A and B are shown apart, each in its own frame.
Chain A
Amino acid sequence: MKLLNEAKHLIKDNIRDYGMYIALIVIMVTFSILTDGLFMSARNISNLLDSAGYIAVLAVGVMLVIVIRHIDLSIGFLAGFLGAIAAILLMQVGLPVYIVIPIILILGLFAGSITGFLVAKIGIPAFVATLAGWLIYRGAILLATEKTGTIIVNNDAFNAIGNGYIPALMVINGAHLLTLIVGAMAIIFYIYSTISNRRNKVKYNFEVVSKEIFILQLFFVSAIIGYISWILASYNGLSWTVIIMLFVVMVYHFITTKTVVGRHIYAVGSNPEAAHLSGINVSKITFLVFGSMGMLSALSGILFTSRLQSATTTAGTLFELDAIAAAFVGGVSAAGGVGKVTGAVIGALVMATLTNGMNLMGVGIAPQYIIRGGVLALAVIFDVFTRKQRA
């Protein structure tokens, strides 16, 4: 009984953090029931994660842009354009993959820095600067694909990024061994880091949850990681897209929570004047965040082009809005200063899950848009209400 009470309090106090996890689980369970378990099939989950990849990567970047009180509308077509450049470099120039990918990422960084320059140094509102970028990159895609139309990419190494899986090493009873090993390592890492984190908190008399709840939490999260690894292992294993996505999340999560730069980003977002008076270089941070956004757009473009195995004239259409929606579903605050990397990724997963589930059920495209819009509105309403509650 005491345990139940504590759990209740915990959820109530942290509803903002737990809200989207709960929402994601509810949505997944609902779809599983409605599709007679088809949704939770190994093949579908694998497919779902792959299809979320290129938006999730953008969502992480744009979340940071929103945290520092700006916006970036150019990212969709920038991704599409850089994807087309990647295809041209691979197919028409004939460069090898290991050279093309760094070139594209650097081009993205450069494009993002231009936006950063316009916003931070010239002082153009980000909305306008990136709207200009939206138009320019859209034109640029058309220009790049003008002669050839859709550029088919038949480079196996490149296409593996969006469609391939990590090697199994060995298959045991139809299960993908390396995936299971990765899953097991993730669980061990998770348990180790949360325990050491808790120890630290106890040492400094910070509030921690009771031992029972803590063990329950460990068990629950481990079970989820284990279950997903198991599902993926019983199909083709972890895809390269998921590996890349996890890598981006880990790197960005680390930067935002553990480094000086990350702290400065949130400081600039929560109060730019105070940040300036604290000796933080606001325009440098703005530069950096837009630069990272450009690089992630490039990565998103690579993921998308590779997944389609071709660069199309319309690649990147509406990506920016999907990414922004994902960031908001993931709890980023339009007022700045608040937002998490994990939140943005979960937001992208929620949106991808909705699309995927409704596709499985044969819901038409019109209701799909309306439902996704409704979920976005609900997420923000939820956010506003929980914030008021705490204030």
Chain B
Amino acid sequence: MSEYILEMKQITKEFTGVKALSNVNFKVKKGEIHFLVGENGAGKSTLMKILSGVYPYGSYEGDIVFNGKVQQFNKISDSVDTGIVIIYQELALFPDLPVYENIFIGNEVNHSGVLDFNKTIVESKKLLNKVNLKINPETLIKDLGVGKQQLVEIAKALSKDVKLLILDEPTAALNEDDSENLLQLLRELKKQGITCIMISHKLKEVTSIADKATVIRDGEAICTLDASKGEINEAAIIKNMVGREIDDIYPKRERKSFGDKIIELTNWTAYDPQLGRNVSKDIDLHVRKGEIVGIAGLMGSGRTELALSIFGNSKSYKIQGDLFVDGRPVNFKHTSQAIKAGIAYVTEDRKGDGLFLLQDIKNNITASNLMGISSNGMINENEEIKVADHYKNSLGIKASSLQQLVGNLSGGNQQKVSLGKWLFVGPKLLILDEPTRGIDVGAKFEIYSVMNELIEQGMSIMMISSELGEVLGMSDRIYVMAEGKIKGELSSEEADQEKIMQLATQ
């Protein structure tokens, strides 16, 4: 039998014409802790979804060899049956059920359909001991902290006789102590012969416990570093992660001197009562007139939350600190006040909370500023058509007519509709959250060009982006965020991919 417990051979996966993975070879030895590292969107999660059967056999090319056999997983339960369990960042627990029920959910201890609670509880205790969690199995999940919930997930995996455990960013939401606990547990599981694949953005974790680390970049496996050969260190990982040069996909713009501060935050802290923690902490930042400020950082670093807290979302967050617009202190109670003050926020999730998919282009473009085309509360439809037509032409929205439903447009054109909607508000500051996510290269270039035009006209832009190339290519100044804090500020001259990654993975 081969020394590898898992071999993924020549895996290729396409999503409607876009290659997410191409010819990836990935081998894991029995009993090792193997890290997958790479930028957001590099293809790590896609690879793991193929392994766990989320993308069924036949939807990808290549072979999965597990335990010496070629596997054909059609659904998630197929992979679980062979001993592969994946734990996602978003935990799949039921908050209102006790720990023991969560551990055995879908795998209940029963006698011809009747649950055996006593045995369930006894078995749960044994499993909880294995993961060093000293709690009463009857505790409700919602009464546990995230760190302990994570351990319950692992106990759940152990109940299924797991051979290969996959953890997708398990420590992203954990504090230092909980993270250290988890890593310690993984070392112990390793001794018991359980193989572990872990996706993580925290390079310190990689250097401290990884046996191997495979770097994925742009859908390809770049290299596998081996700790026993002393190959795993931060510099080596980052170099392989970013590896590519910035192509000239970023249109040039004349960088002039900037004007006064349009917006300034001091000691800005936003507390999210639902999560029970601060999503932004002690943030000081400013954006000047005519400037593009990039906000870099990894997913979950609190960038979107920062933008939303600025944008008058006082319902969702408790805010401390000061916000100045044009030098005057402001306090937005509702998004409409932020809009009135000249701030526009283009969401990262245009389908989820940006656009009205069942309405046409015209209605979407005017949705944020209906007052601008109406008198006495009555909409002037001619004016509306003129406005919509103007943005359709100036942004190059490709559609059969203004009456086309936005839900039927391509991603790039949807993003342009989003932009048009906010440009019609006439903002001073445009907050763009992942402006080019899920958009093809051509449309990206057009959006960058629009951004440059807006800067020419004296607007300011705050651009949140996970794409390092984009941040470096477009920004005049860059803030790097991690764990809700600003970890550093870089001018466009001093910034490069390594520096940003270093700050973002601190």
Contact = CB atoms under 8 A, between A and B. Distances in A.
Contacts of A205: 401
A206 B382 CA distance: 12
Interface residues of B, number: 36
A216 interface: no
A200 interface: yes
B382 A278 contact: no
A261 B336 CA distance: 15
Nearest to A200: B382
B455 to A, nearest CB: 23
A281 B356 contact: no
A138 B282 CA distance: 55
B356 A271 contact: yes
Nearest to B334: A281
Given A276-B335, A277-B311, A278-B421, A259 B378 contact: yes
Interface string B379-394: 1011001000100000
A267 interface: yes
B141 to A, nearest CB: 23
A338 B377 contact: no
A270 B356 contact: yes
Interface in A244-268: 258-261, 263-264, 266-267
B335 A263 contact: no
A261 B401 CA distance: 25
A174 interface: no
Tell me which of A207, A273, A277, A337 has the highest count of chain B C-beta atoms within 10 A of its own C-beta: A277
A92 B374 CA distance: 47
B413 interface: no
B402 A206 contact: yes
A258 B340 CA distance: 23
Given A204-B389, A206-B401, A260 B356 contact: no
B351 to A, nearest CB: 9
Contacts of B366: 263
Contacts of B358: 270, 337-338
B356 A279 contact: no
A116 B357 CA distance: 26
B339 A279 contact: yes
Nearest to B422: A278
Contacts of A261: 377
A267 B356 contact: yes
B356 A277 contact: no
B353 A274 contact: yes
A277 B358 CA distance: 17
Contacts of B355: 271, 274
Nearest to A204: B385
Contact of A279 (B334, B363, B374, B381): B334
B25 interface: no
B284 to A, nearest CB: 25
Q: How large is the interface on A (under 10, 10 to 19, 20 to 34, 35 or more residues)?
A: 20 to 34
Interface string A51-93: 0000000000000000000000000000000000000000000
A267 B360 CA distance: 11
A107 interface: no
Contacts of B357: 270-271
A48 interface: no
B391 to A, nearest CB: 14
Contacts of A259: 374, 377-379
A277 B336 CA distance: 8
B181 to A, nearest CB: 36
Contacts of B339: 279
B345 interface: yes
B370 A277 contact: no
Contacts of A204: 382, 385, 389, 402
Contacts of B363: 263, 266-267
A280 B371 CA distance: 11
B434 to A, nearest CB: 15
B442 interface: no
Given A270-B359, A277-B335, A278-B335, A260 B371 contact: yes
A22 B338 CA distance: 48
Given A206-B401, A271-B353, A271-B356, A277 B345 contact: yes
A274 B356 contact: yes
Nearest to A335: B358
Interface in B136-184: none
Contacts of B338: 279
Contacts of A263: 363, 366-367, 370, 379
Contacts of B352: 273-274
B403 interface: yes
B347 interface: yes
Contacts of B359: 266-267, 270, 337
Given A204-B385, A260-B370, A260-B371, A277 B378 contact: no
A207 B360 CA distance: 14
A270 B366 CA distance: 15
A332 to B, nearest CB: 13
Contact of B403 (A200, A206, A264): A206
A288 to B, nearest CB: 12
B82 interface: no
B368 interface: yes
B354 interface: yes
Nearest to B337: A279
B209 to A, nearest CB: 39
Given A258-B378, A259-B377, A277-B347, A264 B370 contact: yes
Tell me which of A273, A275, A278 has the highest count of chain B C-beta atoms within 10 A of its own C-beta: A278
Contacts of B403: 206-207
Contact of A260 (B340, B345, B379): B379
A204 B390 CA distance: 12
A279 B378 contact: no
A207 B355 CA distance: 24
Contacts of B382: 200, 204
A207 B404 CA distance: 11
| Nearest 6 interchain pairs by C-beta | A273-B353, A279-B336, A279-B339, A278-B368, A260-B370, A270-B356
26 contacts: A200-B381, A204-B382, A206-B403, A258-B378, A259-B377, A260-B374, A260-B378, A260-B379, A263-B363, A263-B367, A271-B353, A271-B355, A273-B352, A274-B352, A274-B354, A274-B367, A276-B335, A277-B345, A278-B335, A278-B368, A279-B334, A279-B335, A281-B334, A337-B359, A338-B358, A391-B407
Given A263-B366, A274-B353, A279-B368, 16 more contacts: A200-B382, A205-B401, A206-B401, A207-B401, A259-B377, A263-B367, A266-B359, A267-B367, A270-B359, A274-B355, A274-B356, A277-B353, A278-B368, A279-B335, A280-B336, A337-B356
Interface of B: 311, 334-336, 338-340, 345, 347, 352-359, 363, 366-368, 370-371, 374, 377-379, 381-382, 385, 389, 401-403, 407, 421
